[in-house]
Amino acid sequence: MPITRGFTGNRRRERPDRLPPGQYDTGSSWPTLTAEATPSGSLEQWTERWRLRVDGLVESPQEWSWAGVHALPRSSYAGDIHCVTTWSKFGMTFTGVSVDTLLEAARPQPEARFVLAHSTTGYTTNLPLEDVTGGRAWVAWEVDGEPLPRGHGGPVRLIVPHLYFWKSAKWITRLELLARDQPGFWEQNGYHDRGDPWLEQRYQGDP
Ligand SMILES: Nc1nc2c(c(=O)[nH]1)N[C@H]1C(S)=C(S)[C@@H](COP(=O)(O)O)O[C@H]1N2
Ligand SMILES: [Mo]
């Protein structure tokens, strides 16, 4: 029996392995989600003042300037992102530095098990240390080969793409290593402490 061609399944059917449960493909659009006021100031002013610190339970606290992070080995993520508000965006490329590189310099103490990411705005989000190591997290300043736009966290943001995107703090300035998990902004407001989209860990109390 001949197979009838011309039937076009939807993307979810074509790529059942790509979209986490309860998510839809946002296509070419990239929504902006910001709880606080977007930081102002020219790129020049911003990057002159900006520092990236890695401190807390580390052997050697670190601080990099804008030029300093750019002197570190570059690393990219190419893949998908997933927001808890149910959009996923496929095939993005973010470039910056791997969090592994930052932690190699700072050397976490044995008691360090969690990270609290801080933004210049006061936004925070908490992550288990193992979710920002092993090539799974970046401090990024480029998206698809262009400077990261201010609304999307530019000049520089955290990218932790295997977790819901609220973990990817925009305008990152500090990674604080902690012995105990300390809920960040959305986590204090009912969102999950880990936020794995494949396990649908949206809210506190989800598995
Ligand atoms: N500083 C800061 N970072 C943030 C947020 C925020 O409100 N402030 N929102 C988070 C949420 S909920 C999402 S989905 C993504 C949105 O990033 P985008 O606006 O670039 O899509 O940033 C995350 N990082
Ligand atoms: Mo989000």
Q: For the segment 86-137, what is each residue's pLDDT rounded down to a tens digit?
A: 999 999 999 999 999 999 999 999 999 999 999 999 999 999 999 999 999 9
According to DSSP, residue 198 is labeled: G
CA-to-CA dists, residue 9 to 12, 14, 16, 44, 89, angstroms: 8, 6, 11, 48, 19
Residues of the chain above pLDDT 90, percent: 92
User: pLDDT tens-digit profile of 170-188?
Assistant: 999 999 999 999 999 999 9
pLDDT computed for residue 15 by the predictor: 55
CATH class in words for 20-27+51-199:
alpha beta
Ligand 1 neighbour 121 (Cβ under 6 A) = yes
One-letter amino acid at 58 equals: V
Ligand 1 neighbour 166 (Cβ under 6 A) = yes
- Check: CB of residue 98 under 8 Å from CB of residue 158: no
In the chain, domain spans: 20-27+51-199
**Mean predicted lDDT score pLDDT of the chain:** 93
pLDDT computed for residue 27 by the predictor: 95
pLDDT computed for residue 12 by the predictor: 46
The structure tokens 């793409």 sit at 161
Centre of ligand 1 from the C-alpha of residue 126, in Å: 14
* Cα Rg of the chain, angstroms: 18
Among candidate residues 81, 99, 69, the one with its CA nearest the CA of residue 25:
81
Centre of ligand 2 from the C-alpha of residue 94, in Å: 17
Which ligand approaches the C-alpha of residue 170 most closely? Answer: 1
Strand spans (E) along the chain: 24-25, 52-56, 62-64, 75-82, 87-98, 114-119, 124-128, 138-143, 146-147, 157-159, 172-178
How does residue 6 score in pLDDT terms, banded at 50, 70 and 90? very low
pLDDT computed for residue 17 by the predictor: 86
- Check: CB of residue 79 under 8 Å from CB of residue 91: yes
- Check: CB of residue 147 under 8 Å from CB of residue 154: yes
User: pLDDT tens-digit profile of 54-73?
Assistant: 999 999 999 999 999 999 99
- The answer on pLDDT for 9 being more than 50 is no
Distance between CA 162 and CA 82 in Å, rounded?
Answer: 8
Alpha helices in 141-201 (DSSP H): 185-188
- The answer on pLDDT for 140 being more than 80 is yes
Ligand 1 neighbour 35 (Cβ under 6 A) = yes
